[in-house]
Protein backbone atom coordinates (compact mmCIF):
# COMPACT_ATOMS: atom_id res chain seq x y z
CA UNK A 1 0.00 0.00 0.00
CA UNK A 2 1.31 3.44 -0.99
CA UNK A 3 -0.48 6.30 0.76
CA UNK A 4 -0.24 10.01 0.02
CA UNK A 5 -2.05 11.68 2.89
CA UNK A 6 -3.07 15.37 2.86
CA UNK A 7 -0.10 16.25 0.63
CA UNK A 8 0.68 19.92 0.04
CA UNK A 9 3.58 21.47 -1.82
CA UNK A 10 4.36 25.18 -1.85
CA UNK A 11 7.30 26.46 -3.87
CA UNK A 12 9.42 29.53 -3.31
CA UNK A 13 7.39 32.63 -3.99
CA UNK A 14 4.27 31.13 -2.45
CA UNK A 15 3.09 29.09 -5.45
CA UNK A 16 0.99 26.21 -4.06
CA UNK A 17 1.26 23.38 -6.58
CA UNK A 18 -0.44 20.68 -4.49
CA UNK A 19 -3.20 21.53 -2.03
CA UNK A 20 -4.20 18.80 0.42
CA UNK A 21 -4.40 15.74 -1.86
CA UNK A 22 -4.94 12.28 -0.40
CA UNK A 23 -4.50 9.15 -2.53
CA UNK A 24 -4.33 5.59 -1.22
CA UNK A 25 -2.93 3.21 -3.82
CA UNK A 26 -3.16 -0.59 -3.85
CA UNK A 27 -2.14 -2.91 -6.73
CA UNK A 28 -3.90 -1.77 -9.87
CA UNK A 29 -3.78 1.30 -12.09
CA UNK A 30 -4.82 4.81 -11.13
CA UNK A 31 -5.09 7.27 -14.01
CA UNK A 32 -4.26 10.77 -12.77
CA UNK A 33 -5.93 13.21 -15.15
CA UNK A 34 -5.51 16.96 -15.15
CA UNK A 35 -4.64 19.92 -17.36
CA UNK A 36 -1.08 21.20 -17.68
CA UNK A 37 -0.18 23.09 -14.52
CA UNK A 38 -2.64 21.14 -12.38
CA UNK A 39 0.03 19.93 -9.95
CA UNK A 40 0.29 16.40 -11.35
CA UNK A 41 4.06 16.40 -11.84
CA UNK A 42 4.69 17.82 -8.35
CA UNK A 43 2.52 15.08 -6.88
CA UNK A 44 4.30 12.42 -8.93
CA UNK A 45 7.72 13.63 -7.80
CA UNK A 46 6.54 13.46 -4.19
CA UNK A 47 5.23 9.91 -4.73
CA UNK A 48 8.62 8.99 -6.24
CA UNK A 49 10.51 10.50 -3.25
CA UNK A 50 12.24 13.03 -5.56
CA UNK A 51 10.59 16.02 -3.86
CA UNK A 52 9.66 16.42 -0.20
CA UNK A 53 6.14 17.66 0.50
CA UNK A 54 5.70 20.91 2.38
CA UNK A 55 3.20 19.08 4.56
CA UNK A 56 1.44 15.73 4.63
CA UNK A 57 2.66 12.14 4.81
CA UNK A 58 3.86 9.52 2.33
CA UNK A 59 3.54 5.99 3.70
CA UNK A 60 4.90 2.82 2.09
CA UNK A 61 3.44 -0.23 3.82
CA UNK A 62 2.82 2.04 6.81
CA UNK A 63 6.41 3.35 6.98
CA UNK A 64 7.17 7.06 6.64
CA UNK A 65 8.73 7.33 3.16
CA UNK A 66 9.62 11.01 3.63
CA UNK A 67 11.86 10.28 6.61
CA UNK A 68 13.00 6.87 5.28
CA UNK A 69 12.71 6.88 1.47
CA UNK A 70 15.05 3.96 0.67
CA UNK A 71 12.50 1.10 1.05
CA UNK A 72 10.11 2.81 -1.37
CA UNK A 73 12.93 3.72 -3.77
CA UNK A 74 14.03 0.09 -3.89
CA UNK A 75 10.51 -0.92 -4.96
CA UNK A 76 9.99 1.95 -7.40
CA UNK A 77 10.15 2.41 -11.16
CA UNK A 78 9.86 6.07 -12.16
CA UNK A 79 9.56 7.81 -15.53
CA UNK A 80 9.58 11.60 -15.11
CA UNK A 81 8.10 13.97 -17.64
CA UNK A 82 11.59 15.24 -18.50
CA UNK A 83 13.79 12.18 -18.91
CA UNK A 84 17.53 12.57 -19.59
CA UNK A 85 20.01 10.10 -21.07
CA UNK A 86 23.74 9.81 -21.77
CA UNK A 87 23.71 10.62 -25.49
CA UNK A 88 26.86 8.72 -26.50
CA UNK A 89 25.72 5.41 -25.01
CA UNK A 90 23.59 2.90 -26.87
CA UNK A 91 20.28 1.84 -25.36
CA UNK A 92 21.68 -1.51 -24.07
CA UNK A 93 24.71 0.25 -22.56
CA UNK A 94 22.54 2.86 -20.90
CA UNK A 95 20.11 0.32 -19.46
CA UNK A 96 22.90 -1.94 -18.20
CA UNK A 97 24.52 1.07 -16.52
CA UNK A 98 21.26 1.91 -14.74
CA UNK A 99 20.75 -1.75 -13.85
CA UNK A 100 24.15 -1.80 -12.15
CA UNK A 101 23.21 1.35 -10.23
CA UNK A 102 20.08 -0.46 -9.05
CA UNK A 103 22.19 -3.39 -7.83
CA UNK A 104 21.33 -5.96 -10.51
CA UNK A 105 24.01 -8.52 -11.37
CA UNK A 106 25.67 -8.27 -14.79
CA UNK A 107 23.95 -11.45 -15.97
CA UNK A 108 20.52 -10.30 -14.80
CA UNK A 109 21.13 -6.85 -16.30
CA UNK A 110 21.92 -8.29 -19.74
CA UNK A 111 18.86 -10.55 -19.74
CA UNK A 112 16.56 -7.81 -18.43
CA UNK A 113 17.89 -5.27 -20.95
CA UNK A 114 17.28 -7.60 -23.88
CA UNK A 115 13.77 -8.39 -22.61
CA UNK A 116 12.81 -4.75 -22.14
CA UNK A 117 14.23 -3.53 -25.46
CA UNK A 118 12.08 -6.16 -27.16
CA UNK A 119 9.10 -5.09 -25.05
CA UNK A 120 9.39 -1.43 -26.12
CA UNK A 121 10.20 -2.33 -29.74
CA UNK A 122 13.79 -1.03 -29.76
CA UNK A 123 15.79 -4.21 -30.41
CA UNK A 124 16.69 -3.21 -33.98
CA UNK A 125 17.89 0.25 -32.90
CA UNK A 126 19.94 -1.07 -30.00
CA UNK A 127 23.41 -0.41 -31.44
CA UNK A 128 22.80 3.24 -32.33
CA UNK A 129 23.85 5.97 -29.83
CA UNK A 130 20.98 7.57 -27.96
CA UNK A 131 21.77 10.96 -29.52
CA UNK A 132 20.52 9.51 -32.82
CA UNK A 133 17.15 8.51 -31.36
CA UNK A 134 13.94 10.41 -31.99
CA UNK A 135 11.97 11.88 -29.09
CA UNK A 136 9.52 8.98 -29.18
CA UNK A 137 12.34 6.42 -29.14
CA UNK A 138 13.93 8.12 -26.14
CA UNK A 139 10.56 7.98 -24.40
CA UNK A 140 10.51 4.23 -24.96
CA UNK A 141 14.00 3.96 -23.44
CA UNK A 142 12.61 5.84 -20.43
CA UNK A 143 9.78 3.36 -20.15
CA UNK A 144 12.28 0.47 -20.26
CA UNK A 145 14.47 1.94 -17.50
CA UNK A 146 11.43 2.38 -15.24
CA UNK A 147 10.81 -1.38 -15.47
CA UNK A 148 14.41 -2.56 -15.02
CA UNK A 149 14.21 -3.85 -11.46
CA UNK A 150 10.73 -5.38 -11.82
CA UNK A 151 9.31 -2.72 -9.46
CA UNK A 152 6.32 -3.06 -7.16
CA UNK A 153 5.36 0.59 -7.77
CA UNK A 154 5.45 2.22 -11.22
CA UNK A 155 5.08 6.01 -11.41
CA UNK A 156 4.94 7.41 -14.95
CA UNK A 157 4.43 11.09 -15.78
CA UNK A 158 3.04 11.87 -19.26
CA UNK A 159 4.55 8.61 -20.59
CA UNK A 160 3.05 8.71 -24.09
CA UNK A 161 4.42 12.16 -25.02
CA UNK A 162 6.12 11.80 -28.41
CA UNK A 163 4.86 8.28 -29.10
CA UNK A 164 3.00 7.51 -32.29
CA UNK A 165 -0.55 6.07 -32.01
CA UNK A 166 0.59 2.45 -32.35
CA UNK A 167 3.23 2.82 -29.64
CA UNK A 168 0.75 4.61 -27.36
CA UNK A 169 -1.60 1.64 -27.60
CA UNK A 170 1.30 -0.78 -26.99
CA UNK A 171 2.37 1.13 -23.88
CA UNK A 172 -1.15 1.45 -22.48
CA UNK A 173 -1.62 -2.30 -22.85
CA UNK A 174 1.74 -2.95 -21.19
CA UNK A 175 0.81 -0.83 -18.17
CA UNK A 176 -2.57 -2.54 -17.98
CA UNK A 177 -0.86 -5.95 -17.82
CA UNK A 178 1.60 -4.76 -15.17
CA UNK A 179 -1.22 -3.37 -13.02
CA UNK A 180 -2.48 -6.90 -12.34
CA UNK A 181 -0.06 -7.19 -9.40
CA UNK A 182 1.70 -3.83 -9.18
CA UNK A 183 0.75 -0.29 -8.17
CA UNK A 184 0.71 1.83 -11.33
CA UNK A 185 0.21 5.59 -11.13
CA UNK A 186 -0.17 7.09 -14.61
CA UNK A 187 -0.30 10.87 -14.95
CA UNK A 188 -1.54 12.46 -18.18
CA UNK A 189 -3.66 15.25 -19.63
CA UNK A 190 -4.76 12.96 -22.50
CA UNK A 191 -8.06 11.29 -21.67
CA UNK A 192 -7.57 8.48 -24.20
CA UNK A 193 -4.44 7.38 -22.33
CA UNK A 194 -6.55 6.17 -19.41
CA UNK A 195 -10.09 5.58 -20.64
CA UNK A 196 -9.38 2.11 -22.07
CA UNK A 197 -7.12 0.79 -19.27
CA UNK A 198 -7.87 2.49 -15.93
CA UNK A 199 -10.82 1.48 -13.78
CA UNK A 200 -9.75 4.02 -11.15
CA UNK A 201 -9.47 7.68 -12.16
CA UNK A 202 -8.38 10.72 -10.18
CA UNK A 203 -9.00 14.19 -11.63
CA UNK A 204 -6.76 17.02 -10.42
CA UNK A 205 -6.90 20.75 -11.18
CA UNK A 206 -5.48 23.75 -9.37
CA UNK A 207 -3.51 21.44 -7.09
CA UNK A 208 -6.70 19.85 -5.69
CA UNK A 209 -8.27 16.44 -6.09
CA UNK A 210 -11.66 16.98 -7.73
CA UNK A 211 -12.72 13.37 -8.26
CA UNK A 212 -11.59 9.83 -7.45
CA UNK A 213 -13.58 6.85 -8.62
CA UNK A 214 -14.65 4.80 -11.61
CA UNK A 215 -15.12 6.13 -15.14
CA UNK A 216 -18.76 5.04 -14.98
CA UNK A 217 -19.49 7.21 -11.94
CA UNK A 218 -17.75 10.18 -13.55
CA UNK A 219 -19.91 9.69 -16.65
CA UNK A 220 -23.05 9.43 -14.51
CA UNK A 221 -22.28 12.80 -12.94
CA UNK A 222 -22.15 14.36 -16.41
CA UNK A 223 -25.48 12.98 -17.63
CA UNK A 224 -27.72 15.83 -18.82
CA UNK A 225 -24.84 18.26 -19.32
CA UNK A 226 -23.85 17.43 -22.91
CA UNK A 227 -25.56 18.92 -25.97
CA UNK A 228 -24.98 18.79 -29.70
CA UNK A 229 -25.90 21.70 -31.93
CA UNK A 230 -25.27 23.13 -35.37
CA UNK A 231 -23.65 26.57 -35.25
CA UNK A 232 -22.99 29.07 -37.98
CA UNK A 233 -19.22 29.76 -38.20
CA UNK A 234 -19.78 33.44 -37.40
CA UNK A 235 -21.61 32.48 -34.17
CA UNK A 236 -18.96 30.07 -32.91
CA UNK A 237 -16.99 32.67 -30.93
CA UNK A 238 -20.11 33.67 -29.00
CA UNK A 239 -20.98 30.03 -28.21
CA UNK A 240 -17.47 29.34 -26.93
CA UNK A 241 -17.58 32.48 -24.79
CA UNK A 242 -20.70 31.21 -22.99
CA UNK A 243 -20.09 27.45 -22.84
CA UNK A 244 -17.34 24.82 -22.72
CA UNK A 245 -17.06 23.18 -26.14
CA UNK A 246 -15.60 19.67 -26.01
CA UNK A 247 -15.24 19.23 -29.79
CA UNK A 248 -16.20 20.70 -33.13
CA UNK A 249 -16.60 19.32 -36.66
CA UNK A 250 -16.91 21.64 -39.65
CA UNK A 251 -19.50 20.56 -42.22
CA UNK A 252 -21.02 22.23 -45.31
CA UNK A 253 -24.09 23.08 -43.17
CA UNK A 254 -22.05 24.72 -40.40
CA UNK A 255 -20.07 23.69 -37.32
CA UNK A 256 -21.38 20.72 -35.36
CA UNK A 257 -20.41 21.49 -31.77
CA UNK A 258 -20.54 19.38 -28.63
CA UNK A 259 -21.27 21.71 -25.72
CA UNK A 260 -21.29 21.32 -21.93
CA UNK A 261 -24.14 23.20 -20.25
CA UNK A 262 -26.69 22.74 -17.51
CA UNK A 263 -29.57 23.48 -19.90
CA UNK A 264 -30.00 23.55 -23.69
CA UNK A 265 -27.62 26.25 -24.98
CA UNK A 266 -29.95 26.96 -27.92
CA UNK A 267 -33.58 25.86 -28.52
CA UNK A 268 -32.68 23.23 -31.13
CA UNK A 269 -29.80 21.66 -29.15
CA UNK A 270 -30.03 17.86 -28.83
CA UNK A 271 -29.08 16.03 -25.63
CA UNK A 272 -26.11 13.67 -26.08
CA UNK A 273 -24.63 10.80 -24.09
CA UNK A 274 -21.45 11.97 -22.35
CA UNK A 275 -18.12 10.31 -22.99
CA UNK A 276 -15.11 10.42 -20.67
CA UNK A 277 -13.63 13.52 -22.28
CA UNK A 278 -16.91 15.36 -21.72
CA UNK A 279 -16.95 14.22 -18.10
CA UNK A 280 -13.35 15.26 -17.54
CA UNK A 281 -13.89 18.71 -19.05
CA UNK A 282 -17.09 19.20 -17.04
CA UNK A 283 -15.26 18.32 -13.81
CA UNK A 284 -12.27 20.57 -14.48
CA UNK A 285 -14.47 23.36 -15.87
CA UNK A 286 -16.72 23.26 -12.82
CA UNK A 287 -13.73 23.76 -10.56
CA UNK A 288 -12.51 26.67 -12.66
CA UNK A 289 -15.91 28.35 -12.41
CA UNK A 290 -15.89 27.96 -8.62
CA UNK A 291 -12.45 29.59 -8.41
CA UNK A 292 -13.59 32.45 -10.65
CA UNK A 293 -16.69 32.96 -8.52
Q: Give per-residue pLDDT as tens, 194-231.
A: 887 888 999 999 999 999 999 999 999 999 999 999 98
Tell me: do 122 and 7 sit in the same domain: no
Non-local CB neighbours of 269 within 8 Å, separated by 6+ positions:
227, 228, 229, 259
Q: In the structure, what pLDDT confidence band is assigned to residue 286 with cuts at 50, 70 and 90? A: low
Do 134 and 246 lie in one domain? The reply is: no
- Return the pLDDT at 291: 38
What pLDDT, on the 0 to 100 scale, is given for residue 197? 83
∠ CA 148-149-152, nearest 5°, is 120
Residue 80, in any domain of the structure? no
Residue 228 counted as domain residue: yes
User: Is 37 inside any structural domain?
Assistant: yes
Q: Is 240 exposed, middle or buried (0-12, 13-18, 19+ CB in 10 A)?
A: middle
Q: Is there a single domain that holds both residue 276 and residue 253?
A: yes
272 within domain boundaries = yes
Residue 42: pLDDT band with limits 50, 70, 90: very high
Domain with 130 in it: 91-144
Please check whether residues 11 and 44 belong to one and the same domain: yes
Same domain flag for 204 and 166: yes
Percent of all residues in the chain with a pLDDT value above 90, rounded to a whole number = 56
The pLDDT of residue 77 is above 90: yes
User: Into how many domains does the chain fold?
Assistant: 3
On whether both 123 and 164 belong to a single domain, the answer is no
Domain for residue 96, yes or no? Answer: yes
pLDDT of residue 14: 86
Q: Mean per-residue pLDDT for 172-179?
A: 85
81 falls within a domain: no
Q: Looking at the structure, do residues 166 and 70 belong to the same domain, yes or no?
A: yes
* pLDDT per residue as tens digits for the range 6-26: 999 999 888 899 999 999 999
Give the tens place of pLDDT for each residue, 85-120: 899 999 999 999 999 988 889 999 999 999 999 988
Is 224 exposed, middle or buried, given 0-12, 13-18 or 19+ CB atoms closer than 10 A? Answer: exposed
Residue of higher predicted confidence among 11 and 82: 11
CA distance 136 to 88: 18
Q: Please state, rounded to an integer, the average pLDDT across all residues of the chain.
A: 89
What pLDDT is recorded for position 129?
A: 93
C-alpha–C-alpha distance, residues 203 and 262, integer Å: 21
Residues 65, 155 within the same domain: yes
Residues 69, 6 share a domain: yes
Q: What is the pLDDT of residue 73?
A: 92
The verdict on 284 and 164 lying in the same domain is: no
Query: Across residues 271-278, what is the average pLDDT?
Result: 92
Q: What is the pTM of this model?
A: 0.86
Establish if 86 belongs to a structural domain: no
Whole-number pLDDT of residue 289: 44
DSSP-derived letter for residue 130 is G
Asked whether residue 123 falls in the same domain as residue 165, the answer is no
The rounded percent of the chain whose pLDDT value lies above 70 is 97
CA 113 → CA 74, 121, 271, 292, distances in Å?
Answer: 18, 12, 52, 50
Amino acid sequence: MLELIDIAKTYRGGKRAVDGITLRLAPGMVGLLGPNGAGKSSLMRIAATITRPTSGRVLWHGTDAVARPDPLRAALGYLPQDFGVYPNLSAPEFLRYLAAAKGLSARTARARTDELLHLVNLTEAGKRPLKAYSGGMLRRVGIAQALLADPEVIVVDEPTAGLDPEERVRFRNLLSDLAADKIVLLSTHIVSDVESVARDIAVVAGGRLLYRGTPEELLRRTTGLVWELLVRPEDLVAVRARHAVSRMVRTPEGVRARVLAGEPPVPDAVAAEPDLEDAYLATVGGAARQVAA
